[in-house]
Structure 1
């Protein structure tokens, strides 16, 4: 059976309609920080019953208090570590048995395997930054394997 996680980051107060449509089709949503607005949490929670959100460096006040710095979740037998800025990671993912590290911060879509760990940045889903494309990612799990597909606007 196929299961999907919609992964977004760096919305900075803007949850785009095109990404909302993609997020309606997934089994879980991960937001890797920099929401900049509590309404983004409400909007995401309307789209999916399973939501994981961590805070980013731009999430201040109530968002900083409410959201965790990082989180570890299990999905389809795989362990996923979620953090906003990968350079602030306080664990060794491979030693900790993590399969996937999801992060944001750079606004640049990125997917690379280091050892046994997949590092995945969905890119920036909010306002355009510099000349970087606006993007999100879909992580699809099927038969104990996973694939990444980036969605660009």
Structure 2
């Protein structure tokens, strides 16, 4: 079992509940609007991190991150893009198993044409009265499963 933590839209706030929620992950994916590079350093204390920049990562080290990223983990391909409206590939044709995105702060998970689309929501400052969430993925030989972790009341 390969476990991946997925988060987005930290906006310079790494809540104390995030690190324990990601304990035991083999890899962490951050879908942008990071804020401080210190957030990525803290996440790296748990597992390797793949991160992209978001629309608010306009200066400093996070501005140098790529806008999109494709990564293979446990034999599955993940494509990271901050704003799903800016998806610049056909995931199904590109062999992508899961598209990871953020931006809206609204957690969602759906399957389209054999590709999973996951928005872990935001685990940074609370906005728009939405929950504070991140996602956990588990990969085994047959499938990818997900679980949304609601940090709103922790």
TM-score, with length taken from structure 2: 0.94
- Give the drift of 1:35: 0.7
Gaps of 5+ in 2: none
1:149 and 2:147 matched:
yes
Structure showing the higher helix proportion among its residues: 1
Distance 1:119 1:54 in 2: 16
Query: Does the 8 Å CA contact 1:70/1:82 hold for their aligned counterparts?
Result: yes
Gaps of 5+ in 1: none
Q: Partner residue of 1:36?
A: 35
Query: Does the 8 Å CA contact 1:76/1:144 hold for their aligned counterparts?
Result: no
Q: Partner residue of 1:91?
A: 89
Q: How does 1:110-149 map to 2 (within 5 A)?
A: 110-149=108-147
Distance 2:58 2:145 in 1: 33
Query: Number of residues paired by the alignment?
Result: 151
Distance 1:64 1:137 in 2: 22
Distance 1:28 1:139 in 2: 10
- Give the drift of 1:60: 1.2
Query: Does the 8 Å CA contact 1:55/1:63 hold for their aligned counterparts?
Result: no
Q: Which moved more, 1:63-72 or 1:29-38?
A: 63-72
Distance 2:116 2:43 in 1: 25
Superposed CA RMSD: 1.1
1:107 and 2:102 matched:
no
TM-score, with length taken from structure 1: 0.94
Q: How does 1:8-19 map to 2 (within 5 A)?
A: 8-19=7-18
